[in-house]
Amino acid sequence: MKIKQASITPPRIEMLPLIDVVFLLLVFFIYAMLSMAVHHGLPVDLPKSGSVALENKQAIAITIEPGTGNALIFLDRQQVTPEQLTAALHSRAGTKSEREQQEVRIYADKSIAYQKLFQVLDCVRQAGMTRISLQAQQEQGSH
């Protein structure tokens, strides 16, 4: 009696579950990277803007808070005067080209007077840094 041999199918790797897993890993890592955006300044009440871009590069954070008579300036959580700010910024990035490429983010409370904001902007420019961005919060309902 002849026994019929079962047909042997070659093993194969199913691609759809693999694609699903890779996609979920990609989503997880993107979400984790976005949640690691660190603000090096102090908490202030930022103005609202309809077009806010999320940036993750390493930048120098300058925070301007309202004080009891005069606005307070902080460089990465350390309080400084305008003169100290210029010197500290100048020493942060070594060469002229490094200073020109260094990004500076200014977190100014929305109640700060323009004069104080422009005083800080002048200090940053005197230090040789030209990549300056003013930070804002995204308005509710804006996309």
pTM score of the predicted model: 0.57
Tokens 């309809």 -> residue: 50
The CATH number corresponding to 48-138 among 3.40.1190.20, 3.30.420.270, 1.10.760.10, 3.30.70.2750 equals: 3.30.420.270
Specify the pLDDT at position 28: 93
* Tens-place pLDDT, residues 4-42: 777 788 888 888 989 999 999 999 998 888 777 666 566
Closest alpha carbon to 63 in 52, 49, 51, 74: 74
Dihedral (CA of 35, 41, 43, 46) sign: negative
Closest alpha carbon to 61 in 44, 76, 81, 43: 76
Specify the pLDDT at position 25: 96
Domain boundaries, the chain: 48-138
* Tens-place pLDDT, residues 61-117: 898 888 777 888 998 888 898 889 888 888 877 777 777 788 889 888 888 888 888
Q: Which residues contact 46 (CB under 8 A, 6 or more apart)?
A: 107, 108, 109, 110, 135, 136, 137
49 or 138, greater pLDDT = 138
